[in-house]
Structure 1
Amino acid sequence: MCRNTEHPLGCRIVRAIRAERPPIVSSPAAKPTDYESFAYLERGVDFPAVELADPAYRRSTFRLDLTAEQSSRVDRLLADNVVISLHDHPQMLPADPFNLIPYLRGRHEFTAFRELHQSGLTAVFDGLFGLIGTATSGGWKWDDIITALGMRLADLAHRDDVVVARQVADIVEAKRNGTLAFVLGTESAGFIENELDRIDVLYGFGVRQMGLVYADSNTLGSGQKETRDSGLTMFGRRAVDRMNQLGILIDVSHASDQTCRDVIEASSTPIAITHAGARAVWPTPRMKPDDVLKACAERGGVLGLEAAPHTTISREHPTHTIESVMDHFTYAVDLMGIEHVAFGPDLFYGDHVGFHHASSGNLGMNAVLDPGGLEFDRVSHVDGLENTTESFRNLAGWLVTHGYSDSEIKAVLGGNVLRVLEEVWR
């Protein structure tokens, strides 16, 4: 049972590592003249002005006690290697979480560009706000995803310091040029309904990663909320084939256990669990069982470790911090092999727990975050992994202080994801 009942939602809420590539030495970072999203428009005139959270604000008190040599090593690892977040939401949340729906209705979500450029990232898999329906409670429909993608592309197209990654070369080139690559992704494919060719349309818009199912089941398969798990549907199998043919990375982070098993078996290319953890470490439906994690690795796939508040908690660290997340990391490395583990923190800029409260009617994640009577502490943020800016530097520092080699750190910070993309993207 949770120790704090003030907010019930918050409570429920190997193959050898590939031979070293030549180091990619990045050019000096691009110097954009304006870090604000939609700078070509007038905020408050062309679209509603909702007060946004300060992306530089920090509540996190986590500090690594690094020596000068260790700090220099962290700097070098981030500077010399491709660093990839396998799943994040690099957008800024409203200062008042309950302005979330009016903010989304305005269709101009702001991205924390300045903060992202300070994160050490080369590429971020951008999950958008892709599940918060503003007209219905069931999440995005077809018009929603097309509009969101078009608006996102319009914003990114007006910047010289970012690129939309459609092939591996775009990520490698972003590292060399000191720019930031955005990989457009979705957390569900429910909005394609029964129209297979809509996957091709999304690919044309630049989508290179797709989740099949969120918590609710859809035409492709069962979600995590289901008590009777029917797995992948026949239409879902056709969708998997089409994604394989196009070169889209398939994600099963929110799929049911049987759907995960079916997708891994059906896919002709490796799949990803872009943001999750190990159920053996924290027993909720949101985490993945051992057999799914092992099957993902055996087929060449990769797991991205989740860090959204009240997800990857552990028995050893029931107050959700970076230490809880790394309990999942060490377990996954032992089970899957270090060449199949990465990080998909799943973070926003702003009050993430407030976001969960404000969106509870749309996401309906209560049941899948219930740890079955285990006690844990409600938190306002995950200390050490509050947002994307601090997360990868702290992760790199944690790995340095815990004895991981440069080649191992290079692999989990981005190399493992790059390997999978080289096999999946056409």
Structure 2
Amino acid sequence: MLIDGLQCGSFDRGVFEDLRAGGFTCVTPTLGFWEGAIESLDAIGEWRDLARAHADVVSIVRSTDDILAAHKAGRIALLLGYQNTNLLDGRIRYVELFAELGVRVLQLTYNNQNELGSSCYETVDPGLARFGREVVREMNQCGMLIDLSHVGDKTTLDAIEWSQKPVAITHANPASVFPHKRNKNDAIIKALAAKGGIIGCAAYRNITPEPACDSVDAWAQMVARTVDIAGIDHVGIGTDFSHHSNQAYLDWMRSGRWTRTVQYGAGSAAKPGPSEKPAWLKTISGLASVAPALARIGFNADEVEKITAGNWLRVYRATIG
């Protein structure tokens, strides 16, 4: 089994076939970044149409049992998620409504501070807001996994502590391995693990060491370093792989409707364009090379299974049911 905690971009039949070629069990696609409630409803409708049109290879899932059933049937499980909480439009009731529509993963903040808390790019992080605490507990009750990937450090720690269920950093790496505002320091990773959570190691070049982009064995070594910090039960895969993304998609991710200025996201003025894929992961089917690489650097079969799928399944069971 192979589970990826987050991918983004534009999905189509070709992407689904590539996922199947890579041996995937479950993927969380990104349905939105800056969209409000109506646009987010549109995205859910479009994904339902897409899954219906390709029902022989994919199915939208709502529970851990659904993931296992899809795997048994030879279909890729799609666990729907958003990289922001703008879809709530400030309404606590919308958590339950979107959960009933099949949304199972919500990142509390994207690249800006919002009503819930701070992003990783703010100068000052005041922590989880009162509305943020309400949303965290509502997500706990409604079977949604809390994602803290782009969230500021203080808000992240507050959410870990406030949540009554394990939380996830679906797509990031240790800052001690690659210093970047998008990555997480060791104290956060250890706090996450202490509450039963998981970090999905990313393969996004802007937040990943260059050697880990050049070879899958070096990427596996980065995963091993993350295991050293979090423990073997709290590390998974969260590639942040983007399908068919172009400049317009990149501009929307970075700028939305909130700014007139140039934004680089996790990039920089020196690297302003779309991030080049890792040499070993030009297409997503290349992720099939991870399990053998983990074995080559010393992980046993049970440990490889935990990193590639088992740890995600445990957290999903504890959060989405």
Q: TM-score, normalised by structure 1?
A: 0.68
Is 2:145 the counterpart of 1:225? no
Matched-pair identity in %: 29
Partner in structure 2 of residue 418 of structure 1: 313
2:164 to 251, 256, 268: 268
Structure 2 residues without counterparts, runs of 5 or longer:
none
Q: Mark the CA change 1:394 to 1:318 in structure 2 (over 3 Å): closer, same or farther.
A: closer
Is 2:121 the counterpart of 1:214? no
Alpha-carbon deviation of 1:310? 1.6
Q: Mark the CA change 1:318 to 1:421 in structure 2 (over 3 Å): closer, same or farther.
A: closer
2:301 to 396, 406, 410: 406
**8 Å CA contact retained: 2:7, 2:240:** yes
Alpha-carbon deviation of 1:177? 1.2
Alpha-carbon deviation of 1:357? 6.2
**8 Å CA contact retained: 2:145, 2:168:** yes
1:141 to 36, 39, 42: 36
Is 2:33 the counterpart of 1:120? no
Alpha-carbon deviation of 1:141? 1.6
Secondary structure class of the residue paired with 1:275: strand
Larger Rg belongs to: 1
Alpha-carbon deviation of 1:400? 2.3
Name the one with the larger helix percent: 2
After superposing the two structures, state which structure 1 stretch, 117-126 or 269-278, moved more: 117-126
Partner in structure 2 of residue 190 of structure 1: 86
Is 2:236 the counterpart of 1:342? yes
Alpha-carbon deviation of 1:355? 5.3
Partner in structure 2 of residue 40 of structure 1: none
Alignment partners' CA distance in 2, 1:199 and 1:253: 19
List per-residue Cα deviations over 1:344-400 (Å, max 9, x = no partner). 1011234678954675433976365569x9x9xx96321112232212x12112112
Partner in structure 2 of residue 328 of structure 1: 222
Alpha-carbon deviation of 1:324? 5.4
Partner in structure 1 of residue 133 of structure 2: 237
**8 Å CA contact retained: 2:214, 2:280:** no
Partner in structure 1 of residue 4 of structure 2: 85
Is 2:28 the counterpart of 1:151? no
List per-residue Cα deviations over 1:127-163 (Å, max 9, x = no partner). 13x12xxxxxxx2122111101111112212323322
After superposing the two structures, state which structure 1 stretch, 266-275 or 401-410, moved more: 401-410
Secondary structure class of the residue paired with 2:66: helix
Alignment partners' CA distance in 1, 2:247 and 2:190: 31
Alignment partners' CA distance in 2, 1:318 and 1:181: 27
Structure with more relative contact order (C-alpha pairs < 8 Å, separation 6 or more): 1
Q: How does 1:340-419 map to 2 (within 5 A)?
A: 340-350=234-244, 356=250, 360-362=254-256, 366=264, 368-369=266-267, 380-391=276-287, 393-419=288-314
Give the residue type in structure 1 aligned to 2:73: N
Structure 1 residues without counterparts, runs of 5 or longer:
1-81, 93-108, 132-138
**8 Å CA contact retained: 1:309, 1:381:** yes
Q: Mark the CA change 1:260 to 1:360 in structure 2 (over 3 Å): closer, same or farther.
A: closer
Q: Mark the CA change 1:207 to 1:215 in structure 2 (over 3 Å): closer, same or farther.
A: same
Alignment partners' CA distance in 1, 2:198 and 2:43: 27
Q: Mark the CA change 1:145 to 1:171 in structure 2 (over 3 Å): closer, same or farther.
A: same
Alignment partners' CA distance in 2, 1:233 and 1:170: 34
**8 Å CA contact retained: 1:252, 1:274:** yes
Alignment partners' CA distance in 2, 1:198 and 1:358: 24
Q: Mark the CA change 1:396 to 1:156 in structure 2 (over 3 Å): closer, same or farther.
A: same
**8 Å CA contact retained: 1:209, 1:251:** yes
How many residues are paired up?
Answer: 314
Alpha-carbon deviation of 1:301? 0.4
Q: TM-score, normalised by structure 2?
A: 0.89
RMSD of equivalent CA atoms: 2.6
Q: How does 1:267-306 map to 2 (within 5 A)?
A: 267-306=163-202
Q: Mark the CA change 1:278 to 1:370 in structure 2 (over 3 Å): closer, same or farther.
A: farther
**8 Å CA contact retained: 1:348, 1:387:** no
